[in-house]
Amino acid sequence: MPLVSLFIAQAQAATIIHTTQADFSSGTYAGWGADVGNADDLRLGFGAAEVLPGFSTTTFLPATRRQHAMAAWNGKLYVSGGLDSSDNPQSNVWYATVNLDGTLGSWTVSPNSLPVAIWGHAMVAWGGRLYVTGGYTSGAESSVWYAPINLDGSVGAWNVSANSMPAGRAAHGMTAWDGRLYVAGVECRAI
């Protein structure tokens, strides 16, 4: 099944693509679009023509990543883990300022990497913290990690929660609301 995302990070070119707030707000979801490059690339349609209006590239990631996680908090965009261009799992955490026009400032490498090199994980920001769940290391992880987001947007030291998920998960979705993490979808396989 092809992977689908609204904000697209192109791993091969290490590019972040965004749209304007006005274009995003005025769009109506028209259903899934057609192939736009290869069998793994789909686009989400806006309006009857299923066109993504106003998309443009912005600041490149410092290195190629795929199956990484991304979250936003208080004017910063955070990217963690993933596989590099040689399919090696990574533990880096990068962050960049989201400018008023929606473009990104330069990326900063956090001195506080994830505790493990991981891919296929999920990350959200809530209450001034980043939360990371699941993903693959030597198998599907059940761990939950969290780190404070400092006032300057940098990432503090990572901690592991005493409360793991009931089972290992990867390639799952996650969001946070009202002080709770919601995890959906499961892929529990050995690698």
- In order, the DSSP letters of 122-158 are EEEEETTEEEEE--BSSBB---EEEEEB-TTS-B---
If you average pLDDT over residues 64-92, what whole number do you get? 95
If you average pLDDT over residues 157-177, what whole number do you get? 91
Q: Which CATH architecture has domain 62-184?
A: 6 Propeller (2.120)
pLDDT computed for residue 10 by the predictor: 30
For the chain, give every domain's residue range.
62-184
> Cα–Cα–Cα angle for 123, 91, 121, nearest 5°?
30
Question: Which pTM value belongs to this model?
Answer: 0.73
Is the distance from CB of 100 to CB of 58 less than 8 angstroms?
no
Coil, helix or strand at residue 185 = coil
Euclidean distance between CA atoms 29 and 121, whole angstroms: 27
Q: Is 60 exceeded by the pLDDT of residue 177?
A: yes
Of 101, 11, 4, nearest in space to 52 by CA? 4
Of 109, 111, 115, 177, nearest in space to 144 by CA? 115
Buried b (16+ CB within 10 A) or exposed e, 117-151: bbbbbbbbbbeebbbbbbbbbeebbebbbbbbbee
Q: Is 60 exceeded by the pLDDT of residue 100?
A: yes
pLDDT computed for residue 42 by the predictor: 34
Burial of 58 (0-12, 13-18, 19+ CB in 10 A): middle
